[in-house]
A and B are shown apart, each in its own frame.
Chain A
Amino acid sequence: MGLFTRERETAPCTVEVSHCFESLYAHVRFDNGAVVHPGDAVQVEGPPVMAPYGEVVRATRVATITRANALERLWTRMTGDFEVMELCEFSFSEEATL
């Protein structure tokens, strides 16, 4: 990992989207065991994986992982906590007026 330089790698991945009444979710799993660290960016290549209502769709894709450099990783670890309130749910969006 460079101090200033970003490295890129690709990883095969499985995208699973459930668009059902019983369950609504979407996940990506890297099939080669790649692990994402703070500050890294991930892009799944190809067109959006769409699931029609009532179906679960699984697609094999390639993901590009752009690794954060050492400074970015440190920065993300130091500052990420400031955004932790995002984890809280308040029923409404933050927009003051709609």
Chain B
Amino acid sequence: MNDQSPIDPKVSIAAHTADARTVEEGLAIQERQAVLDSESATAVAMQDTLLTPRFYTTDFDELDAIDVTPVRDDWDALIAEMEADPNRGHFRKTADWDHVDWAGMDPELKKEFIDFLISSCTAEFSGCVLYKEMKRRGNNRDITQLFQLMARDEARHAGFINDALREVGVAVNLGFLTQKKKYTYFRPKFIYYATYLSEKIGYARYITIFRHLEANPDRRFHPIFKWFEEWCNDEFRHGEAFALLMKTDPKLTAGVNEWWIKFFLTAVYSTMYVRDHQRPAFHAALGVDTDWYGQEVFRKTSELSKQIFPFTLDIDHPRWMKGLKQLQRASADMDRAQKRGGIGGFFGRVWAGTRATWAFARLYTIPAVRHSVPATTRLEPVY
């Protein structure tokens, strides 16, 4: 790859200081701030290890070989919409960005919310890196144009979240590029399945929270949620693009690939369920029941994914919620065993791992619900 990038938000503390005008000044401030033993410093230092930079390559010849002719009309319309850039200027702070009472915020909520901001910023950043790489290495004009536009959106989202982080005294350090980076490899089709689902589930997650807070504005503990509607429309468009890419080759959604699709659906849904349940203060503050939220997001994502996948997961099956809960308990036990360490911790991990694998297998083998895939793929965000 002739491009590498960032992630390792090696997070360091800088209280609104990154307004430094020079590199040296910025570094000096960060060094000074890094020794501050503030509450947020502790919280952030704990999260520091989470963000591991990863770098990817894929089969760029295969990407170049994509021919969007079968979906040309939809494709051109989508690209035109993205080029028109309906969200330009949206991601700026307006009078709607009301004051956040960080000092009065429950410490648990604050920790979880900062985790949300850092993880989201990292994800946008990683998306930007991946898309930019595909743009740089590709030679197919349709493909490079798409990835360039998506990289633009992701960098914009990352900048917006970064600003919210700066407000609470968390600075994302971009100096990681000089670290040694190893490049791993994904097959293009895996990138399609994973990023398509990630973009669509991201849309469903954000719009569900946005609609919930529209109805319950007293639960909106931070102004960033007001920007979720337009934000998730970007995610929606990115998902549309991957759906069209998959539509160009019917083999991608047929035969043995159906098993891969089912794997990704199950893995993405169940990972989301487990991760959300690890952040109880965040969901309690929003007034959201995590089980309800999960099912609501799965329902929307499944409905959307009918545009390209020939089946959906049966999330109303009796084994579904039971399996998710088993997986969640196994995951929590795994964490406890890891923290315990020693021989007891080792056996604890083996036991938790076995239960997690079993729970996942039970979820994966729930018969899927088949439907016929529509001839035209494009959808509009209507939730």
- Interface set of A (CB-CB < 8 Å, partner B): 15, 17-30, 33-54, 57, 76-77, 80-81, 83-98
**Residues on A with beta carbons closer than 8 Å to the beta carbon of B20:** 52-53
In the complex, A18 Cα to B159 Cα: how many Å? 9
- In the assembled complex, how far is the CB of residue B209 from the closest CB belonging to chain A, in whole angstroms? 10
Contact call A49/B2, Cβ cutoff below 8 A: no
In-complex Cβ contact of A26 among B112, B120, B177, B279 (8 A): B177
**4 closest residue pairs by CB, A with B:** A48-B175, A96-B335, A53-B18, A38-B185
In the complex, A94 Cα to B177 Cα: how many Å? 23
In the complex, A39 Cα to B56 Cα: how many Å? 9
Q: In chain B, what residue has the closest Cβ to A90?
A: B275
Contact call B50/A95, Cβ cutoff below 8 A: yes
In the complex, A23 Cα to B46 Cα: how many Å? 26
Q: In chain B, what residue has the closest Cβ to A72?
A: B182
B148-184 vs A, Cβ < 8 Å mask (1 yes, 0 no): 0001100110111011001000001111111111111
B226 at the interface (CB under 8 A from A): no
Contact call A47/B178, Cβ cutoff below 8 A: yes
Number of contacts between A and B (CB, 8 Å)?
223
Contact call B182/A27, Cβ cutoff below 8 A: no
Q: Pick the interface stretch among B62-70, B129-137, B215-223.
A: B129-137
Q: In chain B, what residue has the closest Cβ to A73?
A: B185
Contact call B271/A90, Cβ cutoff below 8 A: yes
Contact call B198/A25, Cβ cutoff below 8 A: no
Q: Which of B38-53 contact A (CB under 8 A)?
A: 43, 46-47, 50-51
In the complex, A51 Cα to B140 Cα: how many Å? 32
- In the assembled complex, how far is the CB of residue A40 from the closest CB belonging to chain B, in whole angstroms? 5
B307 at the interface (CB under 8 A from A): no
**Residues on A with beta carbons closer than 8 Å to the beta carbon of B172:** 24
B213 at the interface (CB under 8 A from A): no
In-complex Cβ contact of B194 among A17, A30, A87 (8 A): A87
Contact call B195/A87, Cβ cutoff below 8 A: yes
- In the assembled complex, how far is the CB of residue B286 from the closest CB belonging to chain A, in whole angstroms? 12
Q: Pick the interface stretch among B23-31, B315-323, B374-382.
A: B23-31
Contact call A42/B278, Cβ cutoff below 8 A: no
B116 at the interface (CB under 8 A from A): yes
A to B CB contacts below 8 Å, 11 in the list: A21-B159, A21-B160, A24-B125, A27-B129, A37-B183, A39-B184, A84-B190, A84-B191, A93-B115, A93-B118, A98-B111
Contact call B174/A50, Cβ cutoff below 8 A: yes
Q: Pick the interface stretch among B3-11, B249-257, B361-369.
A: B3-11
In-complex Cβ contact of A93 among B6, B119, B177, B202 (8 A): B119
**Residues on A with beta carbons closer than 8 Å to the beta carbon of B163:** 21
- In the assembled complex, how far is the CB of residue A82 from the closest CB belonging to chain B, in whole angstroms? 9
**Residues on A with beta carbons closer than 8 Å to the beta carbon of B120:** 89, 91
Contact call A41/B115, Cβ cutoff below 8 A: no
Contact call B47/A42, Cβ cutoff below 8 A: no
Contact call A96/B278, Cβ cutoff below 8 A: yes
**Residues on B with beta carbons closer than 8 Å to the beta carbon of A18:** 155, 159
In-complex Cβ contact of B177 among A22, A28, A39 (8 A): A28
Contact call B115/A98, Cβ cutoff below 8 A: yes
**Residues on A with beta carbons closer than 8 Å to the beta carbon of B197:** 88
In the complex, A30 Cα to B183 Cα: how many Å? 15
Known: A15-B177, A26-B177. A39 touches B183 (CB 8 A): yes
Contact call A83/B184, Cβ cutoff below 8 A: yes
Contact call B2/A33, Cβ cutoff below 8 A: yes
Contact call A92/B47, Cβ cutoff below 8 A: no
